[in-house]
Structure 1
């Protein structure tokens, strides 16, 4: 699984596909205000992006992949 709760943050890593969206949504609902770490994300399905846009959680780390960071950060208002 590319989503894990560790060190007080929700860490996404690798290729985060559509099958992860429900888990991601559930974890954000169960842990409101939890910071999300995107540093190790290689690819992010738009379903997960929609969850990010709906919840707008604090970011513990921006995507390390420059192209993904360039696309995501303006959408997330950072």
Structure 2
């Protein structure tokens, strides 16, 4: 998120929203969510405001499932 924010300010090449959301869905949701808040980046995008918290819940649920004791 920091890199994309710097690129946006400099009007340079950017990381696509689809790539950022893919990283979030693949397990990087906490990092993307933290980056959104710390760098105040993508916080006005409804897609990010809905999907990132959803991905956080899904990622944490998957982690809990994988770490369960049998």
User: Whose strand fraction is larger, Structure 1's or Structure 2's?
Assistant: 1
Range of TM-score over shorter length = 0.3 to 0.5
Which of structures 1 and 2 has the bigger CA Rg?
Answer: 2
User: Whose helix fraction is larger, Structure 1's or Structure 2's?
Assistant: 2
